[in-house]
Structure 1
Amino acid sequence: MNLTEPQHPLLAIVRGTDADAALKTVLTLADEDITAIEVSLTTANALKVIERARDALGAHVLLGAGTVITPDDAARAADAGAGFLVTPGLLDAPLPDLPVVMGAFTPTEIITARDRGARAVKLFPSSLSGPGYLRALRQPFPDVPFVPVGGIDLADARAYLAAGALAVGVGSPLIGDAADGGDLDALRLRARTWHCALTDEVTR
């Protein structure tokens, strides 16, 4: 499976205070056919969550580590079984041989991210711009895979995909309190709603 394939329009971002709940959240998302999942390294015992999720899910789910800030973060995430890395901003350091979704916002940062080997650009924080900004960026950067992240609800997500985003990264509007020990049944319902809506968007 390829991080930049369009059949993964939703990148679920799991961030929580309870490691067991975070693992259950990842497994629940995968069970509901959400197959691109990022576990933020700010999650309690995040590396163990990634390791256990990878053992449980095998290779059919794209499982990555987010909030990667240092080379040590990247190396430890790779050792835990992360299949890709997501950074909140530009990272200029030797990284493991994994796809990197690098955070950027301005055109200069986007150029820098690509020069540093980013497989895709995390447009962050997208709440400061909106789909119109992405549409404008697609003019000078038609070949850059963009993944907007930050404050995206379902209506925003569909608008970003229509504007040319490869995928959208979504945290709390999708995850809710599940990764803190909250309601997994409610998570299932949200996951089904998001999956159906965004799959429909990219197949139009």
Structure 2
Amino acid sequence: MIGEARRALPLRTATSRLVVVVRAASAADYEPVLDVLVDAGIRSLELTLTTPGTIERLGSLIERYGADADVGVGTVVDREQLSRTIDAGAHYIVTPITSAELIEQSVTHGVPIIPGGLTPTELFASWSRGASAVKVFPASQVTPGYVKDLRGPFPGIQVVPSGGIDIDGAAEWLEAGAAAVSVGGPLLGDALRGGDLRALRARALRFVTACSQAPRAHRSAVPTRP
């Protein structure tokens, strides 16, 4: 069964329970913001392929930040993108879609993958193929109680909600049993458009604290391979 080859979420992502999605106008804009995020304690960075130049700069970004944080790549939608991302050394992959093909390719290469979906059918399809976790997207369309609803028929499924999650929502999803939360705008604000980096640091510190202090719901054991 493909699910038996499931890779666990990267340790720093699983421990911090917070993924910050960084979507910039250009990959040249990453460093000032990523420097602040990592210094503030962010331990999982999702760089998006909708940011021009991400794959080309991924190797150097992993070299710069990889000792302190997991560097993943999001918005992967086809096999060529996935291959290039894996070859560049991404610590994990995030997709906005449910694709057995992408999951199998990632599992074969031993790279954790978090595919997107919203319905129970989509989410279970990804989980059963060996996804490390499933991304509930857009999370704004459901409530944190959705985690419990999913765990009824799918014990042990690992859920990462994404889309419109603010600091209060992050704590609520984690308390409900989410493996991690994926946040973007509510944390980043206008930092990637020349905004105040001191304000960014303050927001990042608040998110790190909220996620670290959120109670951990009981989870069923899930067999994974490190």
Regarding TM over 0.5, the answer is yes
Structure 2 Cα separation of the partners of residues 25 and 61 of structure 1: 14
**For 1:106, which of 89, 96, 119 is the aligned residue?**
119
* Deviation by residue 1:63-95 (Cα, 9 ceiling, x = unmatched): 100001001111111222211000001123233
Asked if structure 1 preserves the Cα contact closer than 8 Å seen for 2:91 and 2:111, the reply is yes
Looking at structure 2, the residues matched to 181 and 20 of structure 1 have their Cα atoms a distance apart, in angstroms, of 13
Structure 1 residue corresponding to 2:10, chosen from 3, 6, 29: 3
Q: Which residue does the alignment assign to 2:98? A: 90
Using the alignment, how far apart are the partners of 1:74 and 1:120 within structure 2?
A: 17
Query: What's the counterpart of residue 130 of structure 1?
Result: 143
Partner in structure 2 of residue 63 of structure 1: 71
Aligned to 1:174: 187
Structure 1: stretches of 5+ with no match in the other structure: none
Aligned residues: percent identity? 38
Tell whether 2:177 aligns with 1:151. Answer: no
Count residues in correspondence: 204
SS of structure 2 residue aligned to 1:13: strand
Distance, in Å, in 2 between the alignment partners of 1:153 and 1:92 is: 30
Aligned mates of 1:6, 1:117 — CA distance in 2: 17
Distance 2:16 2:80 in 1: 28
2:46 matched to which residue of 1?
38
Runs of 4+ residues deviating >4 angstroms: none
Deviations, residues 141-175 of structure 1 (Å, cap 9, x unaligned): 23011000011111111110111000000011111
**RMSD, matched Cα:** 2.0
Q: 1:7 is aligned with what amino acid?
A: T
Amino acid at match of 2:71: L
Q: Per the alignment, do residues 2 and 111 of structure 1 end up closer, same or farther by CA in structure 2, a change over 3 Å counting?
A: closer
Distance 1:46 1:132 in 2: 35
TM-score normalised per structure 1: 0.91
Please give the per-residue CA displacement for 1:29-49, whole angstroms capped at 9, x wherever unaligned.
111111011001111311234
8 Å contact kept, 2:65–2:71: no
Distance 1:187 1:49 in 2: 23
The 2-side partners of 1:51 and 1:187 are apart by 25
Q: Which consecutive unaligned segments of at least 5 residues does structure 2 have?
A: 1-7, 218-226
Distance (whole Å) between structure 2 residues aligned to residue 64 and residue 127 of structure 1: 23
Q: TM-score under structure 2 normalisation?
A: 0.83
